[in-house]
Amino acid sequence: MEVVLQNLTKIFPSRNKNGSEVVAVNNFDFTIPDGKLIGLLGPSGCGKSTTLYMLSGLQKPTSGKIFFGSDDVTELTPENRGVGLVFQNYALYPHMTVKQNILFPLQNLKGEDKLSKEEMIKRAYDVAALVQIDDLMDRKPSELSGGQQQRVAIARALVKMPRILLLDEPLSNLDARLRLQTREEIKRIQRETLITTVFVTHDQEEAMSISDYIVVMKKGVVQQIGAPQDVYDSPINLFVAKFLGTPPINVFEGEVKDGALYIGEEKVLDTPNVENKKVFVGIRPEGFILDPNGPLSCNLNNIEVMGRDVSIVSSNTASVNPIVRSIVDADNKIAEGTEKVFFSIKPNKIFIFDHETEERIML
C-alpha cells in the first residue's frame, strides 16, 4: 500500500494563554512507496512520533491529507484505517495470554469481516510462527523477555493484516544485543509480509541499518529523505551531516578564499566554483588519509586501537568540537612521540556548509 502524506501539519495549542503554540510537524510532504520500510529519524521532539500517530489516526492533523493508496484516510478513525501499531512499551494486555493478546484484534471484527473461531486460531498461529513465538502462546506477557514481548506486539499488530504497519521506537526498550537481533527480525518480517512499514527512532544506526528510506526530521520540519547511504553520502545540511554517522562527523570553522578552502591557515581543497565566504567544513572520520605531505595538520592526542581500524584522536584550533576523530586502516603506523599528524582528505568525504544557513554548498 502506497502511503501519501500531503502538506501534513500538526500544531498543538499552547497550554496557557500566553504560551506559544507548538508546531510539531510542519508541512510534511512525502510518498511512501508500496512495501518499503521507512525510518522516521530525528532527535526527541522533532515530530517523528506525532507523524506516526497521525498515520495511525490517534492524532488528527491540523491541516494536510493522508492517503493510503487512493483512499483519503485523513478523517478516518484508527479502526477504520486498517493500521497495525506497535507501541514503544508494547502495551500488551497484562491479564491476557499471548494467544488472547493476538486474538484480541480479530475478535473485534464485525459484520462480513467476522471470522470463525478456527480461522482466528489459525491466523493467530500463522502470525505467531512468522514472528517465532508459537511456543509461547499460553504465557502471560509478564513471563516474557523484552524481545519476546516485542514480537508478541508485532504479531498482534500484524494478525489483522493491516494495510500499513507502524512501529513507535520499536527497539528502545531492548538491550544492545537484543536490539541488533530484533532489528534484523523486523527487516525479515517486513520482507516476508511486504507490508508498508513506518518506524520511528532516534537512533541513526538503527534507522540506517534496516530502512529502505530514511526521513530525517528536525523541529517538525523534514530535512532530507532518501536511501540511507545516499543521505549519509550527501547530506543536505549541517544538521543531517551531524546527525548521521558514528563516530560523528568532524566539523571545522573554515573559509573559502580565492577559489580554495582553508581550515585555519591551511589550504585543504580547491573550490573554484564557490564564492568567498565563511563556511563550516564537515569531514567524515573515514575521510582522512594519513599523509606526511597532507594539507591538514592536527596535534596528536591519543591513538585508540580497534583491531581492524585505528582511531586517531587529535585536535585542531579550527575544530568546532574539542577533538578531531579520524579512522584509518590499522596498517598505518604512527611512531611514538609523534606530536603532529598530517592528513590529506578524500574529496567525497568532505562537505562544506554555509556559515549562516548551514545549508550544503555543492562543490
**What is the radius of gyration, based on Cα positions, of the chain?**
25
CB atoms within 10 A of CB 295: 17
CA pseudo-torsion sign 42, 47, 50, 55? negative
Which range in 72-80, 221-229, 245-253, 326-334 contacts other proteins by CB under 8 A?
Answer: 72-80
Query: Which of 17, 18, 19, 94 is in the footprint of other proteins by CB under 8 A?
Result: 94
Of residues 142-161, those binding other proteins (CB under 8 A): 142, 156, 160
With binding defined as CB under 8 A, does residue 139 bind other proteins? no
Question: CB–CB of 237/228 below 8 Å?
Answer: no
Query: DSSP per residue over 78-101, as a string?
Result: GGGTTEEEE-TT----TTS-HHHH
Integer Cα distance of 327 and 347 in angstroms: 16
Burial of 92 (0-12, 13-18, 19+ CB in 10 A): buried
Query: Which of 87, 132, 253, 294 is in the footprint of other proteins by CB under 8 A?
Result: 87
With binding defined as CB under 8 A, does residue 84 bind other proteins? yes
* Residue nearer to other proteins on the CB measure, 104 or 342: 104
With binding defined as CB under 8 A, does residue 30 bind other proteins? no
Query: Which of 75, 79, 119, 270 is in the footprint of other proteins by CB under 8 A?
Result: 79
**Identity (one letter) of the amino acid at 27?**
N
* Residue nearer to other proteins on the CB measure, 107 or 357: 107
With binding defined as CB under 8 A, does residue 229 bind other proteins? no
Instruction: Give the residue among 200, 206, 241 at the shortest CA–CA distance from 40.
Output: 200
Of residues 98-127, those binding other proteins (CB under 8 A): 104-105, 107-109
Cα of 333 vs its chain's centroid, Å: 36
- What does the binding site for other proteins look like in residue numbers (CB under 8 A)? 56-58, 77-80, 83-85, 87, 89, 91, 93-96, 104-105, 107-109, 140, 142, 156, 160
